[in-house]
Amino acid sequence: MISSIGQIKPIKNLVIVLTYPQTEFRSSGTDERIPFTGSIDQIGSDVEKVKEMGIDHIIFCYLFSIENKNTGKIVHLMKELSEFTR
């Protein structure tokens, strides 16, 4: 982008991550956990790792999750996860 006086201004890249958190996901028996699955603390840890990578925004989508039929539960989960986004 060029300013009105002809100097070039850097444009910041905006990075957004779309996630599908699953608090009721059960592993298939392996010890490795899929990111954004598990307990609120585990998903919160994933959020913190994403923030460390310099990601600007995280979108939590519950469209395909087990929790999607219970709006009250989704609101509760979002309130808990919001503590990790600050």
69 has a pLDDT exceeding 80 = no
Counting residues of the chain whose pLDDT is more than 90, the rounded percentage is 14
DSSP 3-state percent helix, strand, coil across the chain (nearest 5): 35, 15, 50
Between the two ends of the chain, the Cα-to-Cα distance in Å is: 30
Q: Tell me: pLDDT of 22 over 80.
A: yes
Query: Quick one: pLDDT at residue 25?
Result: 65
Global model pTM greater than 0.85:
no
Q: What is the pLDDT of residue 56?
A: 82
pLDDT, tens digit, for every residue of 29-68?
Answer: 667 888 998 889 999 999 999 989 888 888 888 877 777 7
